Amino acid sequence: MLKNKIAAGIIGASGYAGYELIKLLKKHPKVELKALNSRTYANKTVKSAYKDFKDSKLKFTNAPLNEINKLDVVFLAVPNTVAMSLVPKLKCKVIDLGADYRFKDAKIYEKVYKAKHTDKKTKAAYGLPELFKEKIRKTKVVGNPGCYATAALLAALPIQKYCGHIIFDCKSGYSGAGTKKEYVNDPKHYTNNIIPYKLTNHRHKSEIEQFVKAKVSFTPHVIPLFRGLMCTMHAVLNKKLNNKRIKNIYKNYYKKEPFIKIMEDKIPELHDVQNTNYCCIGGFEVDDNNQLVVVSTIDNLIKGASGQAVQNMNIMFGFDEKEGLI
């Protein structure tokens, strides 16, 4: 390992989130990428899976557990329930991009994901740096938030104490459904189309409800683009607040957060955040019914997955939070 660099690995490196991690970690000045585990592409080049990748020599691996345990940190970009079978065997720090370590209460996980949680001993930090930075700094295991949950929580957290009911209307690019063929990521269905799905029972609703005290309604949609996520939040206010006060609440809440951009005079768009780790928040309009509308946008593959994971790694190892991300 090179001096002053940490050794990092990825298990599940060939999916969309894994590929974004490869690109981010490869350019990170304090990381040496040592393992890119993929059962599907083991010993094949990354370029064989992703034609736009510039390094023609870097290969996927199938490193055994004893080699993974020599690393400083491993990112798990694996299906739900797989991480909980691996984490108890891992000696290094872990950032799980799936849902296995997102819930404080394993019973909620079991209800939402219809699977038994087999690792109730591990204490993980929820990996939203804007909410749990100190816990992330001290933990061994981080449960990286879901993409919809990230955008929704960042929109709601500053204002939630003034709200009785919050409605999240979210739209995401089809990459959020992963590489496995599903109805929502099939070009036959999403082309020139918007697909609403899981109107009232999406898994991320329970994730959001852990940290929002108001009543939560949430409906996701898939839109015909690859990356980007927009959350339009409708919050029923329980007291009168003018636009200036609301903007100040958001600016003060996020004044120390390097990846939050408060847009006072512009409604955020996907072009503001694609291929970045930023979350843009704006709109801040209150209608005649005392309903606040706020828009948050993120790149679902970066701030909604791999970029946030690298941000968490930076915090865990005492690096500058922005390292490798700006």
Tokens of 121: 């001993």
Q: Which two tokens stand for residue 291?
A: 């309903």
Which residues 6+ apart lie within 8 Å of 293 measured at CB?
A: 232, 233, 234, 235, 283, 284, 285, 286, 287
Q: Which H or E run contains 236?
A: strand 229-237
- Name which of 191, 197, 146, 153 is nearest 171 in CA terms: 197
DSSP one-letter string for 297-314:
EE-TTIIIIIHHHHHHHH
Specify whether the CB–CB gap between 55 and 46 falls below 8 A: yes
Give yes or no for a contact between 60 and 14, defined as CB atoms under 8 angstroms apart.
Answer: yes
Quick count: other Cβ atoms within 10 Å of Cβ 98? 21
Q: Are strands 141-143 and 215-223 parallel, antiparallel or unpaired?
A: unpaired
Longest dimension (CA), the chain: 62
Instruction: Tell me which H or E stretch contains 37.
Output: strand 31-37
175 phi/psi in degrees, rounded to 5: -65, -20
> Residues with catalytic annotation?
147
Q: What is the dihedral of CA 184, 186, 187, 188, to 10 degrees?
A: -100
CB count within 10 Å of CB 240 equals 9
